[in-house]
Amino acid sequence: MSSTIRGNLLIGQSGGATAVINASLVGAVEAALAERHIDGIYGMLNGIEGLLKKDVIDLRQQPTALWPQLLKTPSAALGSCRYKLKPGDDERVLEILRQFNIRFVLYIGGNDSADTAHQLAYAAAKSGDEISFISIPKTIDNDLPYTDHCPGYGSAARFLAQATIDTTMNTLSIPWHYPVKIIETMGRDAGWLVASSALGKRDEIDPPHIILVPEQPFVTEHFLQRIEEIYRRLGYVIVVVSETIRDEQGKALGSAAQAGSDAFQHPLLSGAAQALVTLVTQQLKLRARSEKPGDLQRMASTSISATDRSEAYQVGKMGLRALLAGESDKMVTLVRHDEPTYHCTTGLVDLGLIANEQRLLPEAYLNESKTMVTQAFIEHALPFIGEPLSHYPRLVTTRLTSR
């Protein structure tokens, strides 16, 4: 049952933008527009960082036709940020919320955004302010705990799985030119994205042939042995690696190209794939090249999963309903059901259990060598990417004999 308390709603987006983060915004706004207990509907530009500057817009003034269009628009329409609250920021935020008569706050983001919402909910409760905070999950890393999976992951997974298939077609056209191809994905400490590159794999020959996840230490000798073995058998090798893989001493392979840290002291790494290219070239004398899709994996509109978009909309909508039911300091979760067919409902979890926590790729989703996914992972993740991937025919290459 909805709360009888009236008030204004404020919505923000934070962290790395995804292909479906706007679907969560639209779900929340459309739910609020239909709710009589919501007066003003406002948006903070560039998340909490923008709110601290009072960069707030009136979402009720947007044209009605905008929302169904925004539903299919990648990136963060409100703008995003990577801002860690400083001492005194919580009091300043509460002061601004009082000035705008904000009663309800929805913050769409990942681990760090959940921490921000948690801190603000705690500050509001401590000061006696009747302001409720709900976190809406978003991350391509798929590393938020207590939810079956995260909105944003399905579309990024679809992109990487299809991109792995497509780039291999180029390798097949002239395999001796660059017989080893290494694709570098995003992913802070969890291997979900790397693993998703195998969602189009139907047999041993299909790419990728090796995946390297950050949960497993990188061992040079094992890697080179595996490359040589596959090359001898197939004539080419496709590898997918996380940008954050580390060696047995815990040093990131991409640390040589580290470009500082973000506001939450997460290292900004780059260069893992190139480090492996150098290793293969020098040690095995094989030509190798690297590919790095970068931001495309987060927000390629051509790879949006309809399932992912629908679930992103759903968690935005249910976040608003949770606020009106009197909930605060919670994150909306996706609760999976596989019978009679795959679908998700929503739940809630305390933000104190989410903030700054990560869900890593379970070992059961990796094979014995830790370099490929298991069927259990395929069955778990395949529903997230929506429609089947494209696979391509090959010519029968029976050679003619001379007469």
Pairing outcome for strands 237-242 and 288-291: unpaired
Cβ count near 367 (within 10 Å): 13
Measure the CA dihedral 20/115/353/215, to 10°. Answer: 70
Q: Which portions of the chain are predicted below pLDDT 50?
A: 1-2, 257-259, 266
CATH of the domain spanning 153-300+360-385, picked from 3.40.640.10, 3.40.50.460, 3.30.365.10, 3.40.225.10: 3.40.50.460
CA 224 – CA 284 distance, rounded (Å): 8
Q: Which segments of the chain belong to CATH 3.40.50.450?
A: 7-139+302-353
Q: What is the pTM for the complete model shown?
A: 0.93
**pLDDT (0 to 100) of residue 270:** 59
Residue 166 a catalytic site member: no
Q: Could you give the count of Cα atoms lying within 13 Å of 129 in the half-sphere of its Cβ?
A: 25
Alpha carbon separation from 310 to 70, 107, 390 (Å, rounded):
13, 18, 21
The model's pLDDT over 220-246, given as tens digits with 9 standing for 90+, comes to 999 999 999 999 999 999 999 999 999
Q: Could you give the count of Cα atoms lying within 13 Å of 23 in the half-sphere of its Cβ?
A: 24
**pLDDT (0 to 100) of residue 398:** 87
Strands (E), 254-305: 288-291
**pLDDT (0 to 100) of residue 344:** 98
Catalytic entry in 141, 143, 308, 329: 141
Q: Which segments of the chain belong to CATH 3.40.50.460?
A: 153-300+360-385
**pLDDT (0 to 100) of residue 357:** 86
Sign of CA dihedral 348, 352, 356, 359: negative
> Which CATH architecture does the domain made up of 7-139+302-353 adopt?
3-Layer(aba) Sandwich (3.40)
**pLDDT (0 to 100) of residue 115:** 95
**pLDDT (0 to 100) of residue 269:** 53
Q: Are 83 and 263 in contact (CB under 8 A)?
A: yes
The helix (H) or strand (E) run that includes residue 347 is strand 343-350
**pLDDT (0 to 100) of residue 326:** 95
